[in-house]
Amino acid sequence: MRRWLPLLVALAWVGLWVVALRPAVGPANDAYRYASATLELLGETPADAQQAALAAYCRDQARSDARRAAVNPLTIDKPPRMAQRVRDCIAKYPDGLTPNKPRYEAIFGDRPGYPILAAPLVAVLGVNAGLSVTSVLCTAIGGLIVARLLRELGAPVHLAVAGQVAYYGSPIGWWGSYPLTEGPVMALTVAALLGAWWLTRRRIMAGTVLLVGAVAVGATMRHSTFLLVAAGLTAAALLAAATSRQHRHAGTFLLAGVGAAAATGIAVTAKVLNLAGAGETLQDKFTDHFTRPDVADPWRRLVDLNVNFWPQWLQQELRAPWLLAGLALGAWALMRRDRALAWVTLAVAGTGLATQVAHPVTGQGDRLYIAMWLVPVVGVPLLLASRRDAPTTGGSSSWAADSTHPIDLDKDAADRVVADRERVRRMPRVVDPAGVTHPHPDRPVRR
């Protein structure tokens, strides 16, 4: 039963989305663009796909408006007139949902991965349900990967599930319930984290395949995000090798090489295919989605905007400092547990910070930096596990011993750690010429 608990939790979260989150999720402008692209993949003409996507958006908008009106004292007695709301919404956008400038539409045209992924469910369930269910299932899978990672790190089942629940309960889960790329992108980011961790544990083949696959698929959804992931993991591998002797091995250096190759490949591909880069997204920001003339100094404006943004962001976070506290506790626990684990987790979480720096806007801020929540999601359960393993009386913590001798991940047997420690304790001992005693399974103790 314990083995299936993470899957049961994932199914419970999907059920929670059906009864609680789905009604509360409002319409998303970006979802209209993904819907249109998905319908084109399914054979619709561009005009028909745009019209069907607009109708789906307007139905969501009408439902959201009726939901708000039902709790408004001034409109509670008025009938919602859903059909009329939908017709009015469609009539408001005869040329498609705004903003609809070609340069703005091209940004979403560079992200074919999500429409391709969602196409089967959209064909079966329709536009709104198909996109939403795709994102929700990807978010559920992301939580399962987190639970797997925590189990391999030695966390007991209940703490691994706690990390999974934290993944669902954080903004990762909330934005992962929208018909947007956040669900699959975060699942692939966590998969890349697991692959990187495997490489630092010398699981060369599995780690390489998972890391390369996650980054390659993720780049088709948001190439800029996975360019940051690949570059960050390269830096993390080099930091791990520089700060920890035990991580100076082929797996860590392969991680650095794979990350560098992936980052270079994404950058070159974006250049060859003329995908929207940082300069274009800055112009999008400072021209109100290309409805105004381009600005001459977007980078200076970005710096000025960040100078003004971050003090306000900090003031806002201090009102409910759960993220700040989680970052501090999680980073501390990760550093105590394993340097390589800490660096790779901070690297992928840092993509959220980098995204917020590139888009220092107050609207949907927690959507932009949701990757930062991976630090508390992974780190805090490990901190609780360290407290659980700590001795109640004198003596050193077994957690400290684990930090220098990581668990053999090939066994996937975190629940047998206690038995393994007892077996080592009972082994005969051998004293080397330097006078240091070691456990030896075959030789008697030399006296």
- 281-312 pLDDT, tens per residue? 999 999 999 999 999 999 999 999 999 999 99
Whole-number Å distance between alpha carbons of 447 and 430: 9
pLDDT-wise least confident of 19-23, 45-49, 244-248 = 19-23
What is the sign of the dihedral through the CA atoms of 304, 108, 136 and 55? positive
Helix axes 182-200, 250-272, angle to 10 degrees: 150
Residues 257 and 356: beta-carbon distance below 8 Å: no
Residues 235 and 310 in one domain: yes
Both 180 and 292 in a single domain? Answer: yes
In-domain check, residue 403: no
Give a yes or no: residue 333 inside a domain. Answer: yes
Residue 159 lies in a domain: yes
Residue 307 sits in the same domain as residue 424? no
Quick one: CA dihedral 7, 35, 53, 67, positive or negative?
Answer: positive
pLDDT tens-digit series, residues 201-258: 999 999 999 999 999 999 999 999 999 999 999 999 999 999 999 999 999 999 999 9
pLDDT tier at 92 (50, 70, 90 boundaries)?
very high
In a domain, 306, yes or no: yes
pLDDT of res. 427: 62
Percent of the chain with pLDDT over 70: 86
pLDDT band at 25 (very low <50, low <70, confident <90, very high): confident
Q: In terms of C-beta density within 10 A (0-12 exposed, 13-18 middle, 19 or more buried), how is residue 244 classed?
A: middle
Task: Determine, yes or no, domain membership for 398.
Answer: no
pLDDT band with cut points at 50, 70 and 90 for residue 413: very low
Instruction: Judge if 299 and 419 occupy the same domain.
Output: no
Q: What is the pLDDT of residue 362?
A: 83
Residue 405 lies in a domain: no
Cβ-proximal residues to 51 (8 Å cutoff; 6+ apart), any chain:
none
Domain boundary residue, one of 333, 363, 383:
383
Q: Which helix H or strand E contains 429, and what residues bound it?
A: strand 429-431
Note whether 349 and 429 are same-domain residues.
no
- Angle of helix 339-358 relative to helix 182-200, nearest 10 degrees, comes to 150
Q: Rounded CA gap, 391 and 240, in Å?
A: 29
Q: In whole angstroms, what is the distance from residue 190 CA to residue 340 CA?
A: 15
Confirm whether 250 is domain-assigned. Answer: yes
Question: Beta-carbon neighbour count of residue 71 at 10 Å?
Answer: 8
Residues 236 and 256: their CA atoms lie apart, in Å, by 8
- pLDDT for 412 equals 44
Is residue 429 located within the same domain as residue 326?
no
CA distance 251 to 233: 13
Chain mean pLDDT for the chain: 89
Q: 221 and 276 in one domain?
A: yes
Q: Report d(CA 168, CA 271) in Å as an integer.
A: 36
Of 372, 395, 390, nearest to 317 by C-alpha is 372
Q: How far apart are CA 185 and CA 114, in angstroms?
A: 9
Find, among 439, 15, 369, 416, the residue nearest to 186 by Cα. 369
Amino acid type, 259: G
Could you give the CA distance from residue 193 to residue 149 in angstroms, rounded to a whole number? 9
Closest Cα to residue 125, out of 56, 194, 187?
56
pLDDT at 420: 62
Mean pLDDT (whole number) for 183-193: 98
The residues, ordered by sequence, that sit 6+ positions from 1 with a Cβ below 8 Å of its Cβ are: none
Cβ-based neighbour number of residue 294 at 10 Å: 14
Q: In this structure, are 44 and 96 located in the same domain?
A: yes
Most confident listed range (235-244, 379-388, 393-402): 235-244
Same domain, 254 and 298: yes
Handedness of CA 422, 425, 426, 428 (dihedral sign): positive
pLDDT at 34 > cutoff 90? yes
Which two structure tokens, joined as six digits, stand for 190?
């966590």
Quick one: 81 and 128 in the same domain?
A: yes
Last residue of a domain, one of 383, 404, 426: 383
Q: Domain limits at 33?
A: 2-383
Domain count, the chain: 2
CB 283 within 8 A of CB 336: no
Q: pTM to 2 decimals?
A: 0.87
DSSP 3-state assignment of 437? strand
Q: How confident is the model at residue 405 (pLDDT cuts 50, 70, 90)?
A: very low
User: How would residue 20 be classed by pLDDT, with cut points 50, 70 and 90?
Assistant: confident
Same domain, 345 and 437: no
Query: What phi and psi, each to the nearest 5 degrees, are found at residue 180?
Result: -130, 180
* Amino acid symbol at 62: A
Q: Residue 415 and residue 412: Cα distance in Å, rounded?
A: 9
**Does position 396 have pLDDT exceeding 50, yes or no?**
no
What are the pLDDT digits (tens) for 51-86?
Answer: 999 999 999 999 999 998 889 898 888 888 899 999
Going by the DSSP 8-state scheme, the letter that residue 247 receives in this structure is G
364 and 422 share a domain? no
